[in-house]
Amino acid sequence: MESTQPVSGDPGVALFRLIRHWARRAPQRSAVVATGSARDVPRILVVEAVATAREQAGSVDVTAVARALGIDHSGASRMVSDAVQAGLLIRSTAAHDTRHAALLLTGEGEALVAAARKWQYEVFEEFTRDWSDEDRACFGRLLVRFCAAATAD
């Protein structure tokens, strides 16, 4: 694979600096904004995983949550159970196979996803506020494209 030199800086280094910076900060900040408590990070991760998997595949189960979060099935199952107990998710029978449980967001779960995504949008807006509309739109498209490639199975 041919390598190209960036115009300025190294995007690989910048990417991993950004990952290190946000790995611990973003989930906690998102939880505090959405629920008032940084302890709700696992719940936000679960409802985000369910919402994203639903958008991509339609049906969501614990295996899809485990895959989305990059954790083992038992860990995902515990996190899902906690989200069910908190009233953010309900378990239902999967339409395609009655032996599997489908996960559905409750109204409260949908509200939590909406709050987390609103905060994510606001962060993007804040960090690009001094950019031109053209730069912001271009970067947004490229970032979505990059993330899709980076998270493809």
17 domain-assigned: no
Query: What residues form DSSP beta bridges with 101?
Result: 93
66 domain-assigned: yes
Total Cβ atoms within 10 A of residue 5: 6
Average pLDDT of the chain, as a whole number: 87
Which residues make Cβ contacts (< 8 Å) with residue 61, sequence separation at least 6?
94, 100, 101, 102, 103
32 domain-assigned: yes
CATH code of the domain containing 58: 1.10.10.10
133 confidence band (pLDDT: 50, 70, 90)? very high
Find the domain containing 80 and state its range.
22-151
**What's the pTM value of the predicted model, to 2 decimals?**
0.81
Give the per-residue pLDDT at 93. 78
Number of domains in the chain: 1
- Give DSSP secondary structure letters for 25-49: HHHHHHHHHHHS-GGGHHHHHHHHH
Return the minimum-mean-pLDDT range out of 16-25, 74-83, 126-135.
16-25
73 domain-assigned: yes
Give the per-residue pLDDT at 26. 78
144 domain-assigned: yes
What mean pLDDT is predicted for residues 21-39? Answer: 80
Q: What is the pLDDT of residues 116-125, one digit of tens each?
A: 899 889 999 9
